[in-house]
């Protein structure tokens, strides 16, 4: 009973729930923005890495390797606390989105590249022989086939981005985790933290089970 | 009259390995040319240079209907005028048969959807697969897929059709239906270059047969000259090997 009162105190949960929900909203804002920008950036990076001219593919590879190597927390702290020293000052929201997007686009680029490379060479040749431009070849022939291959790993990447939004709390972003710790301090009770954990699980569990099903159907590759 | 295709000193190498040793070849409008020769002799490479699926040496020249085949802007124009049928069909698996045939005219020529569809249905009827128009390629037999691939190439109304062993990956019972379509096509006056191991087809349909070996044209002539009276020992050896097979 005491345990329940400590860790799952219903009145406290009800009291702090609006705060947690406002945090969830911020988490979703950061997460969804980063996912969308990361998708666009990742597709762009994949295309220039595969088909860019001159040094462009090499530069894209360097970018991708760097942002897959750097710990997100380190990157976030650099963006928020170090960049101001050179006069670049981002709000907590922008800092979080920038850091998440830089990393997400690197992973997404590799996912798209693997998807495009999995398309048989004959599809490219048939498109070229018909006179399709590179743009139409990509839009009408290659990408629609690659999409099926990349959906499971892309969904996986979305899960990772949504999870990683919790790191934004270190730059004072009032996301779900930050609000939960705030509420915990105010009520002197850990229940809001448990509530936040449950909300994360409720948000991501469906995505996790979708990925599992998709991977069974198409076979997919996990983010390392 | 200027030849439709003029190939001059065509050279192609992979690293230090030379695949084509300076080939000269002119092809007239309406001509049906069959290219035969042992595996690895450069037949595919030769026809794949015509629409520049393979890059070739810069001192070589290929001119298709007055347009030089090079790496620049004119290439799109050449490719629109040159249809190609592959050994492995290479249909677009995510599009229906009908959409496979409609895609290039709409995207490359800007044909309206309704016109492209009318044309596509007409072509599918011509190759005998009108009823399969709404299906996906994966549901069709190899012979049917290859006929769709022919219709897809024809939809661009090309000046020349290239065939790279179009029946080599088919089950024997389906070879005939594809060759029949090609025979009818040859009868309509379309310029065709066909790489093939079907000697019966070459003898019956070709205006000219070209025998290649080791990246060179060893001998060429009418089917009668090549099949009944080959002059070169290498041609004789090759024909002996395939006809006894
Ligand atoms: N991408 C490639 N890299 C290296 N060698 C190749 C490549 N493609 C073809 N070749 C070589 O070029 C020669 C001619 O090939 P190909 O034109 O396909 O012959 P054919 O169609 O007459 O069988 C072969 O010896 C083949 O091994
Ligand atoms: Mg070949």
| Beta-carbon count within 10 A of A201 CB | 10
| Beta-carbon count within 10 A of B159 CB | 17
Is the CB of A130 inside 8 Å of chain B's CB atoms? yes
Distance (Å) from the alpha carbon of A105 to chain B's nearest alpha carbon = 27
Distance CA(B178)–CA(B97), nearest Å, equals 16
Q: What is the mean pLDDT of residues B105-119?
A: 97
Distance CA(B230)–CA(B228), nearest Å, equals 6
Per residue in A28-48, pLDDT tens?
999 999 999 999 999 999 999
What pLDDT is attached to residue B74?
A: 87
Is the CB of A125 inside 8 Å of chain B's CB atoms? yes
Residue given tokens 């005998």 in the structure block: B128
- Residue A143's closest chain B neighbor by CA? B94
Specify the residue with its C-alpha closest to ligand 1, atom 18. B44
Q: Domains, chain A, ranges and CATH?
A: 2-223 (1.10.3720.10)
A1-5, A195-199, B62-66 — which is least confidently predicted? A1-5
**Would the pLDDT of A218 be above 80?**
no
Band the pLDDT of A13: cuts 50, 70, 90: confident
Which residue in the set B83, B91, B104 is minimally distant from A132, CB to CB?
B104
Is the CB of A128 inside 8 Å of chain B's CB atoms? yes
What pLDDT is attached to residue A220?
A: 45
**Would the pLDDT of A138 be above 70?**
yes
What pLDDT is attached to residue A1?
A: 58
Mean pLDDT computed over every residue of chain B: 95
Per residue in B31-52, pLDDT tens?
999 999 999 999 999 999 999 9
**Would the pLDDT of A224 be above 80?**
no
Percent of chain B past pLDDT 90, that is, above it, reads 94
**Would the pLDDT of A172 be above 90?**
no
Q: What is the mean pLDDT of residues A72-89?
A: 93
**Cβ of A129 and B108 within 8 Å?**
no
Do the beta carbons of residue A151 and residue A214 sit within 8 Å?
yes
Most B-contacting residue of A121, A129, A139, A149 (CB-CB within 10 A), to test interface: A129
- Residue A129's closest chain B neighbor by CA? B79
Which residue in the set A123, A130, A133 is minimally distant from B156, CB to CB?
A130
Q: C-alpha distances in angstroms, A132 versus A52, A53, A79, B106, B217?
A: 18, 20, 43, 10, 32
Tell me which residues of chain B have a C-beta less than 8 Å from any C-beta of chain A: 51, 53, 76-77, 79-80, 82-84, 86, 88-94, 103-104, 107-108, 149, 152-153, 156
First and final C-alpha spacing in chain B: 41
Atom of ligand 1 nearest to the CA of B212: 22
Tell me the two tokens of residue A105.
Answer: 């686009």
Distance CA(A15)–CA(A20), nearest Å, equals 10
What pLDDT is attached to residue A186?
A: 87
| Beta-carbon count within 10 A of A139 CB | 13
Helical H runs in chain B? 43-50, 74-81, 97-108, 113-126, 142-154, 172-187, 199-205, 223, 233-243
What pLDDT is attached to residue A222?
A: 43
How many A from CA of B40 to the centre of ligand 2?
7
**Cβ of B88 and A122 within 8 Å?**
yes
Q: What is the gyration radius of the CA atoms in chain A, in angstroms?
A: 21
How many A from CA of B244 to the centre of ligand 2?
21
Residue B195's nearest CA partner among B56, B86, B81 is: B86
| Cβ-based contacts of B86 with chain A (< 8 Å) | 122, 125-126, 129
| Beta-carbon count within 10 A of A122 CB | 15
Distance CA(A208)–CA(A206), nearest Å, equals 5
- Residue A127's closest chain B neighbor by CA? B104
What pLDDT is attached to residue B144?
A: 97
**Would the pLDDT of B245 be above 80?**
no
**CB B196 less than 6 A from any atom of ligand 1:** no
**CB B45 less than 6 A from any atom of ligand 1:** yes
Q: What is the mean pLDDT of residues A68-86?
A: 94
**Cβ of B156 and A131 within 8 Å?**
yes
Helix axes A10-51, A176-187, angle to 10 degrees: 160
**Would the pLDDT of B133 be above 50?**
yes
State the number of CA atoms in the 13 A half-sphere of A203 facing the CB.
21
Report the largest interatomic distance among the alpha carbons of chain A, rounded to a whole angstrom. 75
**Cβ of B103 and A145 within 8 Å?**
no
**Cβ of A129 and B153 within 8 Å?**
yes
Distance (Å) from the alpha carbon of B225 to chain A's nearest alpha carbon = 33
Q: Domains, chain B, ranges and CATH?
A: 5-244 (3.40.50.300)
Per residue in B188-198, pLDDT tens?
989 999 999 99
Percent of chain B past pLDDT 70, that is, above it, reads 100
Specify the residue with its C-alpha closest to ligand 1, atom 27. B40
**Cβ of B53 and A129 within 8 Å?**
yes
**Cβ of A126 and B104 within 8 Å?**
no
Handedness of CA B65, B67, B71, B76 (dihedral sign): negative
Distance CA(A82)–CA(A76), nearest Å, equals 9
Atom of ligand 1 nearest to the CA of B38: 22
Distance (Å) from the alpha carbon of B202 to chain A's nearest alpha carbon = 24
B83, burial (CB in 10 Å: exposed 0-12, middle 13-18, buried 19+): buried
The count of residues in chain B is 245
What pLDDT is attached to residue A219?
A: 56
What pLDDT is attached to residue A221?
A: 44
Distance (Å) from the alpha carbon of B132 to chain A's nearest alpha carbon = 21
């Amino acid at each position: 009973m005491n345990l329940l009162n400590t860790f799952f105190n219903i009145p406290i949960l009800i009291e702090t729930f609006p705060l947690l929900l406002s945090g969830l909203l911020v988490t979703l804002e950061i997460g969804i923005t980063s996912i969308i920008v990361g998708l666009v950036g990742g597709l762009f990076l994949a295309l220039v890495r595969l088909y860019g001219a001159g040094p462009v593919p090499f530069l894209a590879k360097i970018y991708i390797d760097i942002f897959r190597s750097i710990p997100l927390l380190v990157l976030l702290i650099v963006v928020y606390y170090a960049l101001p020293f050179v006069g670049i000052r981002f709000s907590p929201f922008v800092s979080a989105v920038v850091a998440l997007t830089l990393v997400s686009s690197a992973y997404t680029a590799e996912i798209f590249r693997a998807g495009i490379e999995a398309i048989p060479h004959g599809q490219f040749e048939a498109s070229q022989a018909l006179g399709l431009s590179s743009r139409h070849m990509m839009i009408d022939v290659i990408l629609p086939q690659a999409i099926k291959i990349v959906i499971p790993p892309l969904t996986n990447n979305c899960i990772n981005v949504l999870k990683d939004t919790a790191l934004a709390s270190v730059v004072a972003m009032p996301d779900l985790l930050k609000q939960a710790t705030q509420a915990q301090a105010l009520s002197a009770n850990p229940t809001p933290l448990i509530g936040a954990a449950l909300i994360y699980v409720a948000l991501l569990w469906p995505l996790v089970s979708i990925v599992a099903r998709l991977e069974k159907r198409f076979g997919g590759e996990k983010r390392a | 009259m200027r030849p439709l295709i003029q190939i001059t000193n065509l050279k192609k190498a992979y690293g230090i390995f030379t695949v084509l040793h300076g080939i000269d070849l002119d092809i007239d409008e309406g001509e049906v040319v069959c290219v035969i020769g042992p595996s690895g002799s450069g037949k595919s490479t030769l026809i794949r240079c015509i629409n520049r699926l393979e890059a070739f040496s810069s001192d070589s020249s290929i001119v298709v209907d007055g347009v030089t085949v090079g790496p620049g802007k004119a290439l799109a124009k050449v490719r629109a005028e040159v249809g190609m049928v592959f050994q492995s069909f290479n249909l677009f698996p995510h599009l229906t048969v009908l959409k496979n045939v409609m895609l290039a005219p709409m995207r490359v020529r800007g044909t309206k959807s309704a016109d492209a569809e009318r044309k596509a249905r007409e072509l599918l009827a011509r190759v005998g697969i009108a009823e399969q128009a709404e299906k996906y390629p994966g549901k069709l037999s190899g012979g049917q897929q290859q006929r769709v691939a022919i219709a897809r190439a024809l939809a661009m109304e090309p000046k020349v059709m290239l065939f790279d062993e179009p029946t080599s990956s088919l089950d024997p019972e389906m070879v005939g239906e594809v060759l029949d379509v090609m025979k009818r096509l040859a009868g309509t006056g379309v310029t065709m270059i066909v790489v093939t191991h079907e000697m019966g087809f070459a003898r019956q349909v070709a205006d000219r047969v070209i025998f290649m070996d080791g990246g060179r044209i060893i001998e060429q002539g009418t089917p009668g000259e090549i099949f009944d009276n080959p002059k070169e020992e290498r041609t004789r050896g090759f024909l002996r090997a395939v006809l006894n097979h």
